[in-house]
Amino acid sequence: MIRERTRAGLEVARKGRIGGRPRKLSPHRRETVVEMVNAGTRSAADVARLFQVHPSTISREVARHQKKHAVSPEL
């Protein structure tokens, strides 16, 4: 009975809600970060210091952007 109630509560909590930690950078800042790194005007470490985030955060954002905008090979 406890399991059933727990599962029901978890299902209700999942509806319309996204879990996890909020992102450190806003969507506008993410675009700016990717543009700066890809343009070569600043290194990832410099951008991380500028936006006061860890360099890994910058690397993940750049990788996400590249994956999102990757051109798939034609078959």
Whether residue 52 is contained in a domain is answered as: yes
Whether residue 33 is contained in a domain is answered as: yes
Whether residue 7 is contained in a domain is answered as: no
| Cα separation, 7 vs 59, whole angstroms | 37
Tell me what pLDDT residue 47 has. Answer: 94
Whether residue 50 is contained in a domain is answered as: yes
Tell me what pLDDT residue 44 has. Answer: 92
Whether residue 11 is contained in a domain is answered as: no
- Reading the chain (75 residues) residue by residue, the pLDDT tens digits are 899 999 988 888 877 677 778 888 999 999 999 999 999 889 999 999 999 999 999 999 999 998 888 866 665
Whether residue 49 is contained in a domain is answered as: yes
List, in sequence order, the alpha helices (H) in 1-75: 2-14, 27-39, 44-51, 55-68
| Residues of the domain holding 48 | 25-69
- Three-state secondary-structure class, residue 13: helix
Q: What is the number of domains present in the chain?
A: 1
In this structure, what CATH number is given to the domain that contains residue 45?
A: 1.10.10
Instruction: Give me the amino acid identity at 52.
Output: Q
- pTM of the predicted model as reported, rounded to 2 decimal places: 0.65
How many other CB atoms sit within 10 Å of the CB of residue 34?
Answer: 20
Whether residue 10 is contained in a domain is answered as: no
